[in-house]
């Protein structure tokens, strides 16, 4: 004998469906299996969606990190380029200042030389014996050749006394000092360019130029500091 599991009514033999409430056990089992399959499919879909979302999130994080790294690299390159530009501008400014200083020194020496030549010409015009006395004093202290002696300290102009006053020992003395200063200037320029202390080398050279020209214009035969006794 069978009874309905839902309403408890008697189910005749050979029947599976309850005549009282219409409950069908087989249809109920099928419905349960379908419901279980739907729940399983829903869980699988949720898991797949979660995996897909996790993979997408991982890709987004990777792209974000790569973008941040690219931006940092660009910023570092920009900063390096800016520093290099500033360094080159400062170096160009130092070179321009040094060139202008050399040009000013050269013009000053040329003006001094022309002025002294004009003064000598004026004295010669009013004193006919001036030329004779100047020629007689060439081998002495070199009073008439102070300007040429002073020019010896400006770059390669140390050759001027050897060309125009080869017998003037005073001018030749300062020409030798000017030669030492010229060689010393080349050496400290190279060292300054390699070590980055070019401004110190420029100050030393300017001081030696001032010292040598001051001695030459004031009639003193003094050797330059530090380098005056080299190769004596």
pLDDT tens for the 232 residues of the chain, in order: 566 666 766 667 666 677 667 667 777 778 778 878 888 888 777 777 667 766 677 788 888 899 999 899 889 988 998 999 999 999 999 999 999 998 888 889 888 888 888 877 666 544 444 433 333 333 334 454 788 888 888 888 888 888 888 888 888 888 889 888 888 888 888 887 787 777 787 888 889 899 998 988 888 888 888 887 776 6
- Reported as type and span, the H/E element at residue 22 is none
3-state helix, strand, coil in the chain (%, to 5): 75, 0, 25
Q: How far apart are CA 26 and CA 16, in angstroms?
A: 8
Length of the chain measured in residues = 232
- Match 């202390």 to its residue by tokens: 197
Q: What is the pTM of this model?
A: 0.38
List of E strands, 4-101: 10-11
Q: How far apart are CA 115 and CA 195, in angstroms?
A: 41
């Amino acid at each position: 004998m069978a009874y309905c599991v839902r309403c408890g009514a008697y189910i005749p033999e050979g029947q599976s469906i309850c005549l009282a409430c219409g409950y069908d056990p087989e249809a109920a089992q099928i419905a349960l299996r379908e419901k279980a399959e739907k729940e399983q499919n829903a869980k699988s879909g949720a898991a797949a969606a979660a995996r897909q979302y996790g993979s997408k999130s991982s890709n987004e994080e990777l792209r974000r990190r790569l973008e941040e790294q690219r931006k940092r690299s660009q910023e570092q390159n920009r900063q390096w380029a800016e520093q290099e530009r500033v360094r080159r501008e400062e170096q160009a400014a130092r070179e321009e200042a040094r060139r202008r200083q050399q040009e000013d020194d050269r013009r000053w020496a040329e003006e001094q030389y022309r002025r002294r030549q004009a003064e000598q010409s004026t004295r010669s015009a009013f004193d006919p014996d001036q030329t004779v006395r100047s020629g007689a004093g060439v081998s002495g202290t070199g009073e008439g050749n102070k300007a040429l002696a002073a020019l010896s300290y400006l770059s390669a102009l140390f050759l001027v006394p050897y060309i125009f006053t080869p017998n003037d020992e005073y001018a030749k003395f300062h020409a030798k000092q000017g030669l030492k200063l010229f060689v010393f200037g080349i050496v400290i320029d190279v060292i300054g360019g390699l070590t980055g202390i070019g401004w110190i080398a420029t100050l030393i050279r300017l001081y030696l130029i001032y010292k040598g020209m001051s001695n030459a214009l004031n009639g003193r035969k003094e050797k330059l500091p530090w380098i005056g006794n080299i190769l004596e």
